[in-house]
Structure 1
Amino acid sequence: MPSIDIHHAHSLAHDDARRAVQEVAEKLSDRFGVEYDWAGDDLNFRGAGVDGCIALAPSELRVTAQLGFLMSAFKGPIENEIRRVLDERFS
């Protein structure tokens, strides 16, 4: 199964970074029906054809995801959109 593994540096305070990750999750949920929940500083998400995690660390985010068969055809565009959103929210 194709996977996504993106590391992205940030300089936000912990609460601000967590709030930004929450906002991203809410948009994913509204737009794509993705379900999510927090486990400590990890936001786990799942939806049709995707299962992943946004791990929040003091100076870095790590986005990992496993894509199902149909979603794997869109791996490149999905990675590009994730990077765009991370740049927008965390740079």
Structure 2
Amino acid sequence: MPKLQLEVPHTLPQNEAQDRLQRFTESIHGKFGDQAKDVTQSWSDNVLTFGFKTLGMRIDGNIAVEPEKLVVNGDLPMAAMMFKGKIESEIRQQLERLVRV
């Protein structure tokens, strides 16, 4: 299964970055509307676990909120391999927007 891995730097206090990340799934749903279905998120300490379904494929992962960066890890279905760059780009854009000062 292809891996989804990226880091997004931020200059926010860690707790503020985590507070802003609360809106991550809202931003995914807001940008993609009906293209993102079954959007879920849950927290464990400083790690957000998320999931959504798009183009009939389930994307699941987690985002660790570290002092100076957000670390995203997940698995992509094989069918999503040709969209990996686009998926990573969209997730990066949404996260950069959320932690922008």
The two structures have a TM-score, normalised by structure 1, of 0.83
User: Which residue, out of 45, 66, 75, partners 1:66?
Assistant: 75
SS state of the match for residue 65, structure 1? strand
Following TM superposition, where does structure 1 have runs of at least 4 consecutive aligned residues deviating by more than 4 angstroms? none
78-87 vs 33-42, greater mean Cα deviation = 78-87
Unaligned 5+ runs, structure 2:
none
Shift of 1:22: 0.9
Matched residues, number: 91
Give the Cα–Cα distance (whole angstroms) in 2 for the partners of residues 46 and 84 of structure 1.
17
Shift of 1:70: 2.8
| Alignment partner of 1:4 is 2:4 | yes
Q: What pairs with 1:33-72 in structure 2 (closer than 5 Å)? A: 33-48=38-53, 49-72=58-81
Supply the RMSD in Å over aligned alpha carbons: 1.8
48-57 vs 68-77, greater mean Cα deviation = 68-77
The two structures have a TM-score, normalised by structure 2, of 0.76
